[in-house]
Amino acid sequence: MGRISILVNAALLIALVGCQQKETTNNKPTKEVTHKEAVPDTESAPSVANALAVIDGAPISEGQFMEYIRPYPERMKENAQGRDYVLQAMIDQILLEGEARRRGLDREPEFVAKVDAYRRNLLNNRLLDTVKQGGFEVSAEEAKKYFDSHPDEFDRPERVNVRHILVSTEEEAQDLKSQLRKGAKFEELARKQSKDNFSKERGGELGPFSRKQRPDLAEAAFKLRSPGKLAGPVKTARGFHILQLVARIPAEKDKFDAIRDSLINRLRARRRQEAKKELLASVREKAQIKVNQEALETLEITK
């Protein structure tokens, strides 16, 4: 969880507490909730006498606290001051959760739907872990073997980084190019006149791309040889572009040591996805599924 995550969660609960109290959909009266219901139920009811803390009669056991403090840095666990800080954070969360429950916020449909979605995702992941019993791990040796046998995946082709200004007509593009040749700043014109909201705030900069990644601009962009040179207008499906070269990036090959960890994570994710597909195929084969295609096609999605 970590300290930042704890504080974020507390802030979210404070925001929930500040919301105007709402009636539940079944119009039941607000339920009285004790702090005992908010204390994590990680073990059988702990004894008050042996508790680390007691909140309105609800004890927090050593086991519950050990589970809560687990994600915190070791330095927080090694001294009494750090442990006290974490315990107070735990108490704060329990108090706020209890107050949120007292106000019925845990029964609001939107909240219940989010909890259900999170629970389904958690159970799906737990199912995969149970079925495969840790079978997703990838060793450095396996990653190196994959690296050596798939050289094309790790060859980075030549790339260019360019700025662009996108406008609707060729006349607008020619006018911009004329202004640039007279000394106008490319970044300033891009911010003021480009139709591309994604890049205009960065002065029109698109970032590095290869010929395959941007075939619509590649022919003109890769003809530019030195930074600052202009090209265009280039017509695409979006309109007309004026280009300016920022940099050329020569082709290179990734080094295994530099990408080892990311490759291991990638291969691990692939194994997990393959196992999920295999398991899902088996489960679907046993299930009886009927889809109301007509209702699906006429369904209007509300925002």
Do 65 and 94 contact (CB within 8 A), yes or no? no
**Residue at 284 is within a domain:** no
Task: From 97, 132, 167, give the residue that closes a domain.
Answer: 132
The letter for the amino acid at 164 is: H
Question: Number of folded domains in the chain?
Answer: 3
pTM of the model: 0.51
The angle, 0 to 180 degrees and rounded to 10, between the axes of the packed helices 186-193 and 170-181 is: 150
**Residue at 81 is within a domain:** yes
Pairing of strands 205-209, 252-253: unpaired
Do 176 and 166 contact (CB within 8 A), yes or no? no
The whole-number pLDDT of residue 162 equals 97
14 shares its domain with 109? yes
**Residue at 116 is within a domain:** yes
Residues pairing with 244 in the sheet: 163, 230
101 shares its domain with 184? no
The whole-number pLDDT of residue 134 equals 64
12 shares its domain with 126? yes
**Residue at 52 is within a domain:** yes
Return per-residue pLDDT of the chain as tens, 303 residues.
444 344 334 333 333 333 333 333 344 444 455 555 555 554 455 567 788 999 988 899 999 999 999 999 998 898 999 999 999 999 999 999 999 999 999 999 999 999 999 999 999 988 988 887 667 889 999 999 999 999 888 988 999 999 999 999 999 999 999 999 999 999 999 999 999 999 999 999 999 999 999 999 999 999 999 999 999 999 999 999 999 999 999 998 889 999 999 999 999 999 989 989 989 999 999 999 898 898 888 988 776
Domain boundaries, position 190: 158-250
**Residue at 241 is within a domain:** yes
91 shares its domain with 197? no
123 shares its domain with 21? yes
The position carrying tokens 């449909």 is 109
Distance, CA of 7 to CA of 153 (rounded, Å): 41
**Residue at 228 is within a domain:** yes
Contacts of 152 (CB under 8 A, 6+ apart): none
The whole-number pLDDT of residue 39 equals 59
The whole-number pLDDT of residue 151 equals 87
Tokens at residue 16, please? 């929930």
Alpha helical stretches, state H, 23-139: 62-69, 74-77, 80-102, 109-132
The position carrying tokens 């970590």 is 2
